[in-house]
Amino acid sequence: MKVHVFFHDRCFDGAASAAIFTRFYQASIHPGAEFRYTGLAHRASQLFDEALFDGDENAIVDFKYSASPRLSWWFDHHQSAFLTPEDAVHFRRDASGKKFYDPHFKSCTQLIASTGRERFGFAAPDLDDLVRWADVVDGALFPDAETAVRMQAPALRLALVMEAGRDGDLARWLIPEMGRRSLEEIAAEKKITSQFEPLYQQHQRSLDIIRQLGRCEGGVLFFDLTGPHVEAYNKFAPYYLFPDCVYSVSICPSSFRTKISVGSNPWNKQPVLHNLATICERYGGGGHPRVGAISLEPGQLDRAHQIASEIVEELKKPPRTTAS
C-alpha cells in the first residue's frame, strides 16, 4: 500500500499533522504502508492538479479540500477549508468515513489525534508533546510574545527552520522523524542546528526592519516587506515589537506569490471583533477568525497595497452588523 500525504508546507502544524497521520495510519489502517510527502502552498491559483493524487490512497492534512475521487483521507481545521461552495457540498455528502473537518480545533494535529482516538481507537502517548506544541504554535497559546519570538523551545527552533529554511526537501526527512522521536532530539540534529543559527540571525534582522517600517494607527499595524525583500517573518514579532496594536497587516514577496498577512494580537486585552478569515475570503484568501492571508500573483504590488489599505481601514472601525 502506497500512501501519498499532502500537507501544509512550511508550517509546523502541517508537518506535525502529516507525522501523526502517518502514525495513525500505520497503527489503525495498514501497518506495512509506504509513505510519500508533498507540501502544498497557498497560491493565487489554488486548483489541485489531479495528477498529484498518484498513491493507492491519498491524504490531505491541514490544507484545503479537494473533491477529487482520488482523495481518500482529509483533515482540516481552517474556517476557509473549501475553495468553492460545491466543494463544501461534496464534503457534506461524503460517506467514506475518512474525511474530517472541525474549525474549533486549534491545530489540525490535535484534530487527527482526537479523531483517531475517538473513531479508530488510536493512541500514541509518545506524541503528546508534538500534539501539545502544534496547538501552542498554531493556536498562539504562548504565555507572552517574547516566548514566541525568542524561540528557545525545540518546537520553535524546528518551526523556524521549516518556515524560513531553504531546504525544500527538509519536510520529507522531518515528518517521519517527528512521528518517532522527541522534538528535543530532532532539534539537536546537525541538519537542524546548522540551519537554525543563520536563520535566527536573519530573524533578528527582520525584527529591526519591522520595527523601522511598522506604523500603528487606530490599533492597526501595517508594514511592507517588499522593499527589503523579506519573504518570511515570525508571525508573533509584530505584537512583540508593537504590543499596543490589536491587528497587524503586512505584505511579503516571494518567487511564487505576493502575500498579504492579517493577524490579531493574542496578548492585547482589547476584544478582537473582526473575523479575519471572512475578510480575507473576500479577496480570495482565508484562514482562521483571528489570523488569515491572501495570495496574489508575484509582482502584483499595486493590487497588494490596495487590498492591504482597504483591510487596514476596515479594521480601524467596528465591524458592520446586519440588522435583524
Average per-residue pLDDT for the chain: 93
Local structure of residue 99 (DSSP, 8 states): E
Task: Output the pLDDT for position 320.
Answer: 74
Task: Output the pLDDT for position 76.
Answer: 98
Task: Output the pLDDT for position 167.
Answer: 76
Number of domains the chain is built from:
2
pLDDT tens column, 239-288: 999 999 999 999 999 888 899 999 999 999 998 999 999 999 999 999 99
pLDDT tens column, 4-30: 999 999 899 999 999 999 999 999 999
Per-residue pLDDT band for 321 (boundaries 50, 70, 90) equals low
Whether residue 85 has pLDDT greater than 70: yes
Residue labelled with grid coordinates 490599533: 219
Find the domain containing 117 and state its range: 2-190
Same domain (yes/no): 229, 103? no
Whether residue 63 has pLDDT greater than 90: yes
Average pLDDT for 204-225? 96
112 assigned to some structural domain: yes
Same domain (yes/no): 18, 99? yes
Exposure of 196 in the CB half-sphere (CA atoms within 13 A): 19
Residue 246, judged by CB atoms within 10 A of its CB (0-12, 13-18, 19+), counts as: buried
87 assigned to some structural domain: yes
Task: Output the pLDDT for position 50.
Answer: 83
Exposure of 286 in the CB half-sphere (CA atoms within 13 A): 17
127 assigned to some structural domain: yes
Average pLDDT for 178-206? 95
Sequence-ordered list of residues with C-beta below 8 angstroms from that of 151, at least 6 positions apart, any chain: 157, 159, 160, 200, 203, 234
Task: Output the pLDDT for position 323.
Answer: 45
Same domain (yes/no): 11, 140? yes
Same domain (yes/no): 124, 244? no
Write out the DSSP string of 57-91: EEEEESS-----TT--EEEE--TT--SSHHHHHHH
| Alpha-carbon gap, residue 260 to 268, rounded angstroms | 22
Same domain (yes/no): 70, 152? yes
Residue 266, judged by CB atoms within 10 A of its CB (0-12, 13-18, 19+), counts as: middle
pLDDT tens column, 101-124: 999 999 999 999 999 999 999 999
Average pLDDT for 50-61? 94
Whether residue 226 has pLDDT greater than 70: yes
Task: Output the pLDDT for position 324.
Answer: 38
- Global pTM reads 0.87
307 assigned to some structural domain: yes
Same domain (yes/no): 282, 142? no
Per-residue pLDDT band for 318 (boundaries 50, 70, 90) equals confident
Task: Output the pLDDT for position 263.
Answer: 95
